[in-house]
Amino acid sequence: MFESAELGHQIDKATYKAEVPQLRAALLEAQYELRERGKFPVIVLVSGQDGAGKGETINVLYEWMDPRFLSTLAFSEPTDEERDRPFMWRYWRALPPRGRIGMFAGSWYSSPIHDVIEGSIGRAELDQRIDQINRFEGMLVNEGALVLKFWFHLTKEAQRARLRQLEKDPHTAWRVTKWNWDRLKTYDKLQDAAGHILRMTNTPWSPWIVVEGTDDRYRYLTVGKMLLEALRTRFGATTTQATPVAPPMRPNIDGRDVISELDLAQRIESKRYKAELARWQGRLSELVRHPRFKKRSLICVFEGADAAGKGGSIRRIAQSLDARQFQIVPVAAPTEEERAQPYLWRFWRHVPRRGRVAIFDRSWYGRVLVERVEGFCAEADWLRAYSEINDFEHELAQSGAVVVKFWLQISREEQLRRFKEREDVEFKRFKITEEDWRNRKKWDAYHRAVCDMVERTSTGLAPWTLVEANDKNHARVKVLRTVCERLEAVLKKS
């Protein structure tokens, strides 16, 4: 992939001075159009060898464009806060909103390349990370982002000459350290690792642009023109680029499914309920104070039919915990800030650090439930959400989170009874809205959506627990018992 970047590309000073003013004006115009439209973000990754001009190129783009609508994110060693969360958490937090350009000096590629050079991961683990990156970038593109990836290339001799040149200049000597010279010794390893990673992540939706880094003027013009061309192409596109989404739904030919087969008649009488509640609340309190839990986190996800008792179950979990240890995240319609980001962004920001608990009252499954049924998103969006959600939960589990997901189900008759009760009881009226009655008319559509959701997102790392909730006592005990059993099983393996 690097041959064309070893040809000695150069731009003479006169040509450069003649072209820059027109390019700057065009870039500014495109940047303002991007902001005015506010339809998509631009993500620019700047990677490459030491001394290849990554920082200088970013500085030139800041000079050529309006810096108020640019952001540069630089990543080095993760902080303690970042280590306590999934690897991709810090990159999700840094994503630019629609209408802005975000430049990443160092990115999700830096760590895999470093680990390969250091020998801390093998080819199999590297390929797993590459697959994760491809799926992440595919998600960004499907969400509307324009992703540009630049690799600035130098030959070993050019890199050595570049470091010497920087070292001789008093104004740039500070940029060259012993670490840079030591890195030069690993040049061949870097080339092997980067060559493999670039080849495997050079996808149609986010291809790599390899730029020779020897000549500053050539590098600046190439990056500026490529950015301008990509923006103009995107402005003129009638449809956004998309990667394949998901296989079609499986038809149900006998009428049986995971919801219809639930035994909603299960009950727990009051005396036994009090004993069971105390037992499992006490056990949960012990588990989250266990020394091994400091290396874990607990994420409880509550979904269910309207009036199925999610709030009551959440309160019984919260009663078992120290208020300083948990956060309840109620999920409603996204805000303007959240709509300007990829769909999962608003959930990534609430991922708990190790030793903490997050309880989601509704969750990221809204896309495959209410947004699907109500037509708030396109079919392609909710279809691809299944795999994106699975990837998200896989990353949570890989980082040490215990993900426990509940669907609370009640019968249609029980829901009607509870709706009427809420209307009749003054302190419960706030719980019933016109939207609840409207959703009830789409019972069958939600039923199909729930079955599809369970089938496609109940994984070994994050399985669904279906809770028979006609009897609140039974539901609350089953929820608490499930959380304790899942958490206990994971802590035993730690």
276-297 pLDDT tens trace = 999 999 999 999 999 999 999 9
**How many angstroms separate the CA atoms of 232 and 234, rounded?**
5
The answer to whether residue 127 scores a pLDDT higher than 70 is yes
Q: Are residues 227 and 307 in the same domain?
A: no
Residue 174 vs residue 372, higher pLDDT? 372
230 and 325 within one domain: no
Instruction: State yes or no: pLDDT of 329 exceeds 70.
Output: yes
Task: With respect to residue 96, please indicate whether it lies within any of the assigned structural domains.
Answer: yes
On whether the CB atoms of residues 147 and 91 are closer than 8 A, the answer is no
pLDDT at 436 (0 to 100): 81
Q: Is the same domain home to 175 and 288?
A: no
Are residues 435 and 300 part of one domain?
Answer: yes
Q: Which two tokens stand for residue 140?
A: 């960004």
Residue 316 and residue 183 share a domain: no
Residue range 429-451, pLDDT digits in tens? 777 778 888 888 999 999 999 99
pLDDT above 70 (res 243): no
> Other CB atoms closer than 10 Å to residue 127's CB: what's the count?
15
More confident residue, 68 or 159: 68
For residue 494, is pLDDT > 80?
Answer: no
Give yes or no for residue 94 having a pLDDT over 90: yes
Q: What is the mean pLDDT of residues 14-29?
A: 97
Residues 53 and 115 in one domain: yes
Question: Is the pLDDT assigned to residue 245 strictly greater than 70?
Answer: no
Residues 198 and 316 in one domain: no
Statement to judge: residues 229 and 277 lie in one domain: no
Q: Is residue 243 part of a domain?
A: no
Give me the pLDDT at residue 248, please.
67
In a domain, 262, yes or no: no
**Span 1-15, mean pLDDT?**
87
**Cα–Cα separations (whole angstroms), residue 246 to 267, 345, 367, 386, 494:** 39, 21, 14, 8, 34
- Position 54 in a domain: yes
**Alpha-helix runs per DSSP H in 119-155:** 123-142
- Categorize the per-residue pLDDT at 241 as very low, low, confident or very high, splitting at 50, 70 and 90: low
d(CA 108, CA 118): 17
- pLDDT confidence of 174, banded at 50, 70, 90? confident
Domain end call among 210, 236, 262: 236
Q: In this structure, which amino acid lies at residue 197?
A: I
- Kindly tell me if the per-residue pLDDT of 173 is higher than 70: yes
Residue 179: pLDDT above 80? no
311, 232: one domain: no
Q: Average of pLDDT values for 218-227? A: 96
What is the per-residue pLDDT across 47-66, written as a single tens digit (0 to 9) for each?
A: 998 888 999 999 999 999 99
Q: What is the average pLDDT score of the chain?
A: 92
Q: Are residues 217 and 298 in the same domain?
A: no
- Is 102 a domain residue? yes
401 within some domain: yes
Is the pLDDT reported for residue 244 higher than 60?
Answer: no
Residue 327 pairs in a beta bridge with 358
pLDDT at residue 336 in the model:
95
Residues 6+ apart with CB under 8 A from 469: 264, 304, 305, 308, 309, 408, 409, 410, 475
Q: What mean pLDDT is predicted for residues 373-387? A: 93
The 10 Å Cβ neighbour count of residue 52 is 25
User: What is the domain-level CATH number for residue 455?
Assistant: 3.40.50.300
Backbone φ and ψ of 78, nearest 5°: -65, 145
Domain count of the chain? 2
Instruction: Judge whether 260 lies within some domain.
Output: no
pLDDT at 123: 86
Does position 395 have pLDDT exceeding 70, yes or no?
A: yes
pTM: 0.85
User: Is the confidence at residue 425, as pLDDT, over 80?
Assistant: no
Handedness of CA 288, 294, 296, 299 (dihedral sign): positive
Instruction: Give the end of a domain, one of 217, 236, 255.
Output: 236
Q: Are residues 281 and 227 in the same domain?
A: no
List beta partners, residue 105: 46, 74
29 domain residue, yes or no: yes
pLDDT bracket for residue 114 (50, 70, 90): confident
Domain containing residue 69 = 3-236
Asked if residue 350 and residue 207 are part of one domain, the reply reads no
